[in-house]
């Protein structure tokens, strides 16, 4: 083991091999050659005095040491990306990269209408969207700004509560013409239902608020809200959809609003250090204004 700290490029190559499962895959992901990736792994093993991979018929298998290093390599990657974003824009200029974390549903169905006019006003802005149900860590700068369906618990964050995004049961007109319209919650037992696959903490919280829903009831199970919405739109069955999204689609019909309605507490948050970044403040404010308008549309009579 050497006393010189390994270069960041070595950890980046390690992370790519862990993600891709092979030297060739890591090389393609990073735009480098396979021998270069191999040299990086060898150099990191020498510097740390650890064996990071073993070869098998299935390819490279990470050792326990490599798996223990992974979260630190991911933290380095997030920090490096944040440095690039910070350097991409001048302090007082509305230009550069802003990374936004949000759920798939918000990122695909709601944010385009907010970010498009913002980009028209500030054409030197560049957006990166990190779309998943995972909560991106703003403290570690995995994202600059996050739209979250839960109040932030971390300190050192600037956060604004938007309100509750409402989710209700919906079906397409085609499905209702074929299967009829449920008049009571008990009628759902005779219908084709769309719902979750794996029970997450968020799902358990939902089940505490709305009783009677169980995974075995669903004729289609998916953890992707977008997949569920696509099946509702296709006429497959009845499922949950955000009220604001459904109101934009004349083919979607709300069902049993008095018996089933969920509220998703919605926040916009960013690291307090970014208050000095004009571009981040402008994007933060645009997200707050746009999501408030989305909730107003949701609640319109």
Closest C-alpha to 162, from 301, 295, 297:
295
Give the model confidence (pLDDT) of 222-278 as tens digits: 989 999 999 999 999 999 999 999 999 999 999 999 888 888 889 999 888 787 788
Question: Around 265, how many Cα atoms within 13 Å sit in the side-chain half-sphere?
Answer: 10
First-to-last C-alpha distance (Å) of the chain: 69
| pLDDT attached to residue 206 | 63
CB 89 within 8 A of CB 99: no
| pLDDT attached to residue 78 | 75
Q: Give pLDDT < 50 ranges for the chain.
A: none
| pLDDT attached to residue 141 | 64
pTM, two decimals, is 0.67
| pLDDT attached to residue 42 | 83
DSSP 27-63: HHHHT--HHHHHHHHHHHHHHHT---EEEETTEEEE-
- Structural domains in the chain, sorted by start: 8-85 (1.10.10.10), 90-160+268-299 (3.40.190.10), 164-264 (3.40.190.10)
């Amino acid at each position: 083991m050497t006393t010189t700290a390994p270069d960041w490029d070595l950890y980046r190559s390690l992370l790519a091999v862990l993600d891709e499962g092979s030297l060739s895959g890591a090389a393609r992901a990073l735009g480098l050659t396979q021998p270069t990736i191999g040299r990086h792994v060898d150099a990191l093993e020498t510097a740390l005095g650890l064996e990071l991979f073993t070869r098998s018929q299935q390819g490279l298998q990470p050792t326990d040491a490599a798996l223990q290093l992974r979260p630190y390599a991911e933290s380095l990657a997030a920090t490096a990306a944040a440095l690039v974003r910070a350097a991409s824009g001048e302090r007082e200029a509305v230009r550069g990269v802003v990374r936004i974390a949000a759920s798939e549903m918000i990122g695909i169905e709601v944010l385009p209408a907010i970010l498009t006019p913002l980009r028209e006003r500030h054409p030197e802005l560049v957006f990166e969207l990190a779309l998943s149900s995972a909560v991106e860590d703003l403290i570690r700068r995995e994202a600059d700004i996050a739209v979250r369906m839960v109040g932030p618990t971390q300190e050192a964050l600037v956060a604004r509560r938007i309100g509750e995004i409402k989710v209700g049961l919906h079906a397409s007109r085609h499905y209702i013409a074929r299967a009829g319209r449920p008049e009571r919650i008990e009628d759902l037992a005779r219908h084709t239902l769309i719902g979750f696959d794996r029970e997450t903490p968020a799902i358990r919280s939902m089940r505490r608020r709305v009783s009677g829903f169980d995974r075995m009831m669903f004729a289609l199970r998916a953890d992707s809200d977008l997949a569920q919405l696509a099946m509702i739109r296709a006429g497959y069955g009845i499922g949950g959809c955000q009220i604001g999204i459904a109101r934009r689609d004349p083919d979607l019909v709300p069902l049993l609003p008095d018996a089933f309605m969920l509220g998703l507490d919605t926040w916009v948050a960013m690291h307090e250090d970014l208050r000095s970044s004009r571009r981040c403040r402008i994007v933060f404010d645009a997200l707050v204004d746009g999501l408030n308008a989305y909730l107003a549309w949701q609640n319109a009579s």
